[in-house]
Amino acid sequence: MSRYNAKTVEAKWQAVWAEQRSFEVEANLTLPKYYVLEMFPYPSGRIHIGHVRNYTMGDVVARYKKAQGFNVLHPMGWDAFGLPAENAARDKGVHPADWTYANIAHMRDELKAMGLSLDWSKEIATCHPGYYGHQQKLFLDFFEKGLVYRKESWVNWDPVDMTVLANEQVIDGKGWRSGAVVEKRKLDQWMFRISDYSEDLLDSLEKLDRWPDRVRLMQQNWIGRSQGARISFEIIGEDKPLEIYTTRPDTLFGASFMAVSADHPLTQRLAKDNPAIKDFVAECHRMGTSEEAIEKAEKKGVDTGLEVAHPFIPGKTLPVYVANFVLMDYGTGAIFGCPAHDQRDLDFARKYGLEVTPVVAPDNADPEIGDTAYTGPGKIINSDFLNGMEVEAAKAEIIRRLEEMGKGTAKINYRLRDWGLSRQRYWGCPIPMIHCVKCGTMPEREENLPVKLPDDVTFDKPGNPLDHHPTWKHVKCPGCGGDATRETDTMDTFVDSSWYFARFCSPRADQPVEREKVDYWLPVDQYIGGIEHAILHLLYSRFYSRAMKVTGWSDIDEPFAGLFTQGMVTHETYRSEKGEWLLPEEVGHNDAGDLVELISGKPVTIGGIEKMSKSKKNVVDPGAIIDKFGADAARWYVLSDSPPDRDMEWTDAGATGAWRFVQRLHRFILEHIEAACPVHAPEPEEFPEAAKNLRKSAHKTVAKVTENIENLHFNNAIARIYEFMNALGDFKSDGTEGAKWALREGMEIIVNLVAPMMPHLAEELWQMLGHDTILVETRWPQAIKALTVEDKVTMAVQVKGKLRATIEVALDEQAKIVEEIALAQKSVQNAIGENTIRKIIVVPNRIVNVVI
RNA sequence: GCCCCUGUGGCGGAAUUGGUAGACGCGACAGACUCAAAAUCUGUUGUCCUUAGGGCGUGCCUGUUCGAGUCAGGCCAGGGGCACCA
């Protein structure tokens, strides 16, 4: 018998779909639309299992929705700007564009081999001027509406390579290539005013009811709305007060010091003639720019010698410190320290011998403070007029008093900062601005868009190639026509991915988007991607859709109506003797069974199981899997083994099981087609008992699989299909018309249910079943309700919560009768023994619990 | 450090959302077919008590409940994000 040949069959159906343009769609107001989108990939060179998982999930949804009669938009593109292309240019001497387009070509072939229902006619790449030119247009529109501005902000500076480093390029405070200690440096940078939308971005999370709760929670915490107070402290001997922000004004009587940021104007002024402060500020600037680095550093400070007056305790003064844990970007860049009720303040106070006065007493607990600050609720003590109040009441009262005195006010603060989009790199979208000595910073004229990247660049010098290009930046000012220079910074690649979903609606339009198209297709109905994008990418995209509304490009606030965050695909990490990351295929076992580097035979260290990432090289090439077992088996495997929202560790064993199922289903249809009735035969009047049961099983499966796919529980859908396959295998036909008909029905149903996951095999089987239509144009099966309900149920009988028997009763049987049957069981009687029955709980159709 | 998530057999996981823990798959073991292997098929497979029948069992500890994998509180372990990786 011929075995199923995945390779030829898959190629055959891919050709058919391409020829029939099965997945190319146009906006059509007479049809209900459904927009399925998976996060587009970075063209790193080859697809990895994470992509296979992500795109298979999206494909199942897309094919399922199409079978449900929706007009489905399912596009694909490339997040093609970014650092790795420049690294390749430096390391291998390849031009970033050549490297990127070669990678795209290879990965496109790989994706096509997966048989995804993508509309390839809508493919876009963000590094193409046809894309980024429109991004520049959007930037200019945003600039005109005041959504973009320029501000000095901090970057990681490598003093040896004379270049700006990304956070991931800073390892233990040192540059990854030079090894030099990284400094913070201030540069003029372009910013988006995302913080203007803090409140809206926060409040609108409520409406995103098809987003995972955890993502909404993460965004909520990220935006970080806090209700607090601004308080001004009089600095002794100074005219201007010190403004602070606090979320705990109720602890003001426990204040023992003030702390200001190293970047606070007061600090900068004092540093001029105080070497100790100057040195300390310099030390702070040697810390990285990441919040993690700042939080993990030892809490340190330096006394400025200044003192402030306590607003409520006459004669009491507090010393002012410059401290490394106070952020200039948050609040006012200055705080009061209340060590008893804030851990950082406590660490700091212990280090510098500052006083620790508890002012909140937890109920029935000793307010003695050791090494742990008390941050819980309680009653206020040691605080004059606040004594005896609960924390919340005390906050309100002290703000009222401060307002009376004109020394403070209630203030809502957000943690969310404006989005710095400037990057000092070549391989990104040029910022279309021009600096003129006379006119200042001017937007480029629209007719000059796109501002294209120059091709002739070199990466042999440190710094930004655009900056040392001989001619590119020298232009005439669009205002006065005089000599001027182009902005040489390019945009953060998050900008590219903040509107690509809108561009897909009209990917070849000569403006960023066409209104009718985005009005029809947006928002994305189901967006699928990694949880690692839970905050930044999704938040930036939400901001972008608001900004595009302000500039008239669309009318939606929220770009993604439904979001699904798939778990990451993880894999062990490997390092060579020298500490370099190694790909799994570079690693193997030697004769002695030790893990070694295959080329050199040198030992390999196994690291943790971590998210697959380019930088750690712990990636698996799925090409080999597809080559060996076919795309259908690979798709089936990534869906079957783990719940889609959880992390999945790649193992080779699972793929074999999927492959076996492909064979089993194919063989079953092949061997049983003769035993089934002809295609489109009319339904007979009578069914033998076994056929009735098969039909019940089939229709229950349809109902469950439909529900599972709706909820994206693909692993459960597959388990149900396996169960039905087992039922089909167990079916004994008696040769009657009813049996033949039920067998065909079962076979057709399983082929339909399997189709979104294994589309090639399903098409092939559909044809074998005698159909001359193709499955991608076939409607999803409907479960017959009457066949999905049973008239009998099995109920569990517990005595004192322990299972003692199971009983079979009629569906929705009266509680009294159920009790009788339950108590009649011998094992139940044994368990009850001499005890008296106190109560019997009957949960209909589920369980009986006899309480003794 | 801060925020979020996860923890169930040898393994991936299921559990009608508080109601029979371990569906389905992988692996393993035994058998059938075969000269043999592969493939396929059948059966067994949480654990302990030699069996009948029971005991124990969802990271750990406490609690709520007739009943807890599921809810609450406290721990432990692993993972993700922390604003210039994408």
A114-150 confidence digits (pLDDT tens): 999 999 999 999 999 999 999 999 999 999 999 999 9
Distance (Å) of CA A89 to CA A331, A401, A427, A661 = 42, 63, 10, 45
Strand B lies under 7 A from the Cβ of residue A608: yes
Strand B lies under 7 A from the Cβ of residue A290: yes
The interface predicted TM-score of the complex, written ipTM, equals 0.94
Nucleotide at minimal C1' distance from the A616 CA? B85
Nucleotide at minimal C1' distance from the A831 CA? B54
Is cis: bond before A512, omega within 30 of 0? no
Residues 423-452 of A with CB under 7 A from strand B: 423-424
Strand B lies under 7 A from the Cβ of residue A371: no
What does the pLDDT average to over A225-246? Answer: 93
- Percentage of the residues of chain A whose pLDDT score is greater than 70: 93
Q: What is the 3-state secondary structure (H, E, C) of A187-256?
A: EEEEEECHHHHHHHHHHHHHHCCECCHHHHHHHHHHHCEEEEEEEEECECCCCCCEEEEECCHHHHHHCC
In this predicted structure, the answer to whether residue A179 has a pLDDT above a threshold of 90 is no
Q: How far is the CA of A622 from the C1' of B34 (A)?
A: 35
Chain B footprint positions (protein CB, under 7 Å): 1-6, 11-16, 19-21, 23-27, 39-42, 53-56, 66-68, 78-86
Q: How far is the CA of A68 from the C1' of B10 (A)?
A: 42
Residues 316-335 of A with CB under 7 A from strand B: none
- Percentage of the residues of chain A whose pLDDT score is greater than 90: 66
Mean pLDDT (chain A) is 90
H helix intervals, A114-181? 129-144
Beta bridge partners of A485: A435, A474
In this predicted structure, the answer to whether residue A224 has a pLDDT above a threshold of 50 is yes
Q: How far is the CA of A802 from the C1' of B71 (A)?
A: 20
Distance of CA A425 to the CA centre of its chain: 25
CA distance A852 to A802: 12
In this predicted structure, the answer to whether residue A332 has a pLDDT above a threshold of 70 is yes
Which residues neighbour A574 within 8 Å (Cβ) at sequence distance 6 or greater? A581, A582, A583, A584, A586, A587, A595, A604, A605, A606, A607, A617, A618
Which residues neighbour A837 within 8 Å (Cβ) at sequence distance 6 or greater? A850, A851, A852
Q: How confident is the model at residue A462 (pLDDT cuts 50, 70, 90)?
A: confident
Q: How far is the CA of A824 from the C1' of B56 (A)?
A: 28
Nucleotide at minimal C1' distance from the A845 CA? B19
Strand B lies under 7 A from the Cβ of residue A207: no
| Model pLDDT, residue A177 | 83
In this predicted structure, the answer to whether residue A195 has a pLDDT above a threshold of 70 is yes
CA distance A579 to A803: 56
A480-528 confidence digits (pLDDT tens): 999 999 999 999 999 999 999 999 999 999 999 999 999 999 999 999 9
A257: exposed, middle or buried (Cβ count in 10 Å: 0-12, 13-18, 19+): buried
Beta bridge partners of A33: A71
What does the pLDDT average to over A80-93? Answer: 91
Nucleotide at minimal C1' distance from the A40 CA? B86
What does the pLDDT average to over A562-586? Answer: 73
